[in-house]
Structure 1
Amino acid sequence: MTIDKTALIQHIKDREQILVLRRAIDKLERVLENYSIEYTDFLDPYQRKLCHSFLNRFKEVSFFEEGGLEDSERKSIVMYPIYIDRNDIEIPIKALRIDGSFKFKELSHRDYLGALMNLGIKREKIGDILIHKNYGTIITFEEIVNYIKYNLKMINKESVFVTEMDISELVEVEEEYTEKSLTLSSYRLDVFVSTICNISREKSSSLIKNGYVKVNWQTIGIPSKEIHVDDMISIRGFGRIKVTQNLGKTKKDRNKVVVRLI
């Protein structure tokens, strides 16, 4: 069955995601033509939402998301013919435990990801990276497990060794954050970025327009976008901020919110 890929995604305005969506449609096409079980690369919540917009149109195909843990941020979408029992599907996702002398140096998410990128592994082949006190965990696809096991020897100049672990042994990481109250002139995105990063509105607008800022995993180029409670703002080079509470107006008619700096 040939799918009109352009027609399926013509309603999607985010041009940055077109390649990701076309790859997902290729997988969908294989399910329809070959009655096979297919899975996408690891996708963030925004990318998966875009995929759902066209997957839901095909009643002969079922799908679910898998990322190792129920609350995983990055997940693969598994697609299969509707007549196949989901319980009979073998998930190609594996977990690798990373051990080393972490008591001497704390390794960050960026350290882990950088080491994997240096091995030539693409970001979309890596799911969540879970950092515990004494070890780390990388969620990835079975097809590259052995490559990582035999080639990942160092992370930020620290020697490490890699062992495979069962997905059922994965442990959630409690998110570390600092809570902070902000007083804002408005709920505009550029006001949030300016206040959080302690930079001018002009500089914050420039960051947004140049694609350095995401809201709920979507790149936003509009400084005037309004931010709401539960929105996640990601600023490249700075980190993430989640808006957790709106405390209303101050006596000077400014807006007070509570955010988590992650």
Structure 2
Amino acid sequence: MEQVYQHFRKEEQPFIDMVESWVVQVQQQYAPYLTDFLDPRQQYIIEMVIGKRGEVRTQFYGGYEAAERKRALIYPDYFQPKLEDFELLLIEVNYPEKFTTLSHGQILGTLVGSGLRREMFGDIMSDGVRWQFYVSESVRDYVLSQVTKVGKTTVRLEQKEYTDLLVPTDDWAVEHDTVSSLRIDTLISSVYNISRQRAKELVSGGKVKLNWATYDRPDFELGLRDILSIRGYGRIQLREIEGKSKKDKWRIEIGVLRK
């Protein structure tokens, strides 16, 4: 395990241990294991931990091609995964569209506030008017019965078919950049063209989340698939580290969402 640990952060070790336990379960029971919804960094860890083990494989699905949060199916090599094995349901939020608007934050807050763990539902999507999200089949009845309001707005949740999936307006732009380091403040400063000092203030002021958790260390170095959410600016995902330039700077590929 030490060999695996050295490629990751100390705080990621419990998750790595959990992945190893899932792999052992698949090997011993010779049957697939389905995880909850995972963020992109967790998906990356699973890919790295399972790697090229011939007898155990993994596949990810979050309901649509560009999904951010996905469930992982870890399975023995004889098994042929099908989409229904991921046990996802599409839910639409019906609300009086002519009289009010909803936001991603409101829906996220409502779902978590209803007692649902964040791992039990996937991406929250909108085309600017309609709102949908994915949940695991196991919590369908709970979600449909518990959520009747978003903020002060009365809503009705309805299960939809995959064919009713809306086209989300959030579009990641793929960009290439050259940065002196992979520190959080360096990346924010470079992508949004603001001073390092301003970037540091955003981080230390609690305006930045790393993989959906508030993070206050500007000098923290990002790893592959990490996602930064910067309030008022948008989001950055570190997608590829392409190597060093002649001036010893990092060449990177990033996904960027600008507000």
Task: Give, in whole Å, the separation in 2 of the partners of 1:71 and 1:88.
Answer: 15
Instruction: Go from structure 1 to structure 2 and tell me whether the alpha carbon gap of 1:44 and 1:11 turns closer, same or farther (over 3 Å shift).
Output: same
Q: CA deviation at 1:132?
A: 3.1
How high is the TM-score relative to the length of structure 1? 0.72
* SS, match of residue 238 in structure 1: coil
Cα distance change, pair 234–152 in 1 and its aligned pair in 2 (3 A): same
Q: Which residue of 2 aligns with 1:154?
A: 149
Structure 2: give runs of 5+ residues left out of the alignment.
174-178, 238-255
Q: 1:67 corresponds to which residue? A: 62
2:16 matches 1:18: no
Pair 1:238 & 2:232 matched: yes
Tell me which of 26, 34, 51 is aligned to 2:29.
Answer: 34
> C-alpha root-mean-square deviation of aligned residues, in Å?
3.7
Deviates more, 1:126-135 or 1:74-83: 126-135
Aligned positions of 1:69-218 closer than 5 A = 69-87=64-82, 90-175=85-170, 189-190=184-185, 193=188, 201-202=196-197, 204-205=199-200, 207-208=202-203, 213=208
CA distance in 1, matches of 2:120, 2:226: 26
Counterpart in 2 of 1:261?
A: 258
The Cα of 1:131 is off from its aligned counterpart by: 1.7
Question: For the Cα contact (< 8 Å) 2:61–2:70, is it kept in 1?
Answer: yes
Tell me if the contact between 1:213 and 1:234 (Cα under 8 Å) persists in the aligned partners. yes
Q: What secondary structure is seen at the aligned counterpart in 2 of 1:98?
A: strand
Stretches of structure 1 lacking an aligned partner (at least 5 in a row): 1-5, 179-184, 244-258
Aligned partner letter, 1:128: D
> What amino acid sits opposite 1:30 in the alignment?
Q
Amino acid at match of 1:149: L
CA drift at 1:198:
9.9
Give per-residue Cα distances to partners, 1:140-160, cap 9 Å, x unaligned: 100001100011000011111
Q: 1:93 Cα shift? A: 1.2
- What per-residue deviation string (whole Å, max 9, x for no partner) do you get for residues 117-170 of structure 1? 111111111110112344311101000011000110000111111111122432
Contact map agreement 2:126 2:167 (CA 8 A) in 1: no
Q: What amino acid is the match of 1:13?
A: F
**CA distance in structure 1 between the partners assigned to 2:190 and 2:21 by the alignment:** 43
Rounded to whole Å, the distance in 2 between the matches of 1:49 and 1:80 is: 17
Do 1:215 and 1:232's aligned partners in 2 also have CA atoms closer than 8 Å?
yes
- Distance in 1, matches of 2:114 and 2:98, equals 25
Q: Give identity over the alignment, percent.
A: 25
TM-score, scaled relative to structure 2: 0.73
In 2, the alpha carbon distance for the partners of 1:37 and 1:61 equals 9
Alpha-carbon distance in structure 2 between the residues aligned to 1:177 and 1:104? 30
Letter in 2 for 1:121: L
